[in-house]
Amino acid sequence: MLLKKLIFFAGKGGVGKSTLSCAVALRLSEIEKTLLVSVDPAHSLSGILGIQIGPVVRAINDNLYAIELSAQELVEKYTKRVISALGDFLPNVKAGLKEYSQYIKHSPTALETVILDHLLDLSQDYAYVVIDSAPTGQMLRLFETAHMVSGWFNFLSRLAKERQKVQTFMGKEDDFYKIIEERKQRIENLLNLLREKGIIFAIANEEPLSLKEAQDIQEALRDMKVYKVINRWKYMEGDFIKIPSLESPYGIENLKNLKVEPLLEFIVYKAIS
Ligand SMILES: Nc1ncnc2c1ncn2[C@@H]1O[C@H](COP(=O)(O)OP(=O)(O)O)[C@@H](O)[C@H]1O
Ligand SMILES: [Mg+2]
């Protein structure tokens, strides 16, 4: 299925990211097949929707699916994959790789890498993917990681090319270059996806610190579509989307009453160009 939009809800803790993610995903699923993903380690989708959601995609209704990513589980799988690939290319040091796996697991970008990788896979099957992000700092790191890993793979690719020349000279096959190129392509695809289909709602309320964080997100992610949103809007005027309060925003039926139309307008109509 062709992905139309990858929608991130970002902002300070407690501003309403999870609540708005749920409400928007519910409404989008009335139009087309939608996936709701929580990447915040402090998952709260289950509590808000009143339905148990876990680390495996589950159907909420005909058109809505949800998952709370277990980054730790994904890191474990990722580490095994890296170690097994390295073992194939460096059979002499296979024994030492077990110890090395600890370093991979705790490497600074492992968590972000596996989350992005998984998002790319998940995005294949839905028209809309709605992402309940972790609070601002972690969320910005997710985007920085994508750029950083891309740079890293460009570097690796140059090294791999040199290695390939030597191997060919010695009359040997070399799959290493091919594997690096595949990974590099995957990261490029992800960056393109974020640029072309990504839309970020930087959520705040009328509290100054949350407004500042929304502003920071907009400034940090200049090459993406970032829209500021005031959730639980009361009186403040300015250049942002306003979402009013709802008395009890819990459970599917109640959440359908949350007035998220201005957000849907940006997702479905205005952001098409
Ligand atoms: N539009 C709204 N109207 C009323 N209450 C809201 C609204 N949005 C969020 N809340 C409430 O604010 C609190 C924080 O919301 P939550 O979605 O968990 O924030 P975050 O995910 O950003 O930490 C929750 O108690 C939630 O019910
Ligand atoms: Mg939340």
CA of 136 to the centre of ligand 2 (A): 11
Residue located via tokens 């409404």: 27
Mean pLDDT of all residues in 74-89: 83
Please name which of 253, 222, 227, 224 lies closest in space to residue 242, comparing C-alpha atoms: 227
pLDDT of residue 271: 52
225 conformational bin, left if phi > 0, alpha if psi -120 to 50, beta if neither = beta
Q: Does residue 95 have a pLDDT over 80?
A: no
> Which of 17, 18, 19 most suits a substitution to test ligand 1, by most atoms within 8 Å of the C-beta?
19
Give the Cα separation of 53 and 59 in Å (integer).
Answer: 9
Highest mean pLDDT pick, 29-38, 75-84, 152-161: 29-38
CA of 38 to the centre of ligand 2 (A): 8
Backbone phi, psi, residue 8, to 5°: -105, 135
Mean pLDDT of all residues in 22-46: 95
Please name which of 56, 102, 109, 112 lies closest in space to residue 79, comparing C-alpha atoms: 102
Give the Cα separation of 76 and 86 in Å (integer).
Answer: 15
pTM to 2 decimal places: 0.91
CA of 19 to the centre of ligand 1 (A): 5
Amino acid at 54: G
Q: How many CB atoms lie within 10 A of CB 164?
A: 18
CA of 15 to the centre of ligand 1 (A): 6
Domain ranges of the chain: 5-272
Q: What is the pLDDT of residues 169-225, one digit of tens each?
A: 888 877 788 888 888 898 899 899 999 999 999 999 999 999 999 999 999 999 899
Average pLDDT, the chain: 90
Nearest Cα residue to atom 12 of ligand 1: 16
Mean pLDDT of all residues in 226-240: 95
Please name which of 192, 196, 265 lies closest in space to residue 227, comparing C-alpha atoms: 265
pLDDT of residue 273: 45
Ligand 1 binding pocket, CB closer than 6 Å = 13-19, 44, 231-232, 243, 245-246, 249, 258
Q: Does residue 72 have a pLDDT over 60?
A: yes
What is the DSSP-derived secondary structure letter of residue 273? -
The fold of the 5-272 domain, in CATH, is Rossmann fold (3.40.50)
At CA 240, angle to CA 234 and CA 241, rounded to 5?
Answer: 70
Q: How far is CA 125 from CA 4, 58, 189, 191, 226, in A?
A: 11, 13, 16, 18, 24
Please name which of 42, 7, 4, 11 lies closest in space to residue 23, comparing C-alpha atoms: 7
pLDDT of residue 46: 97
Contact 86, 176 (CB under 8 A): no
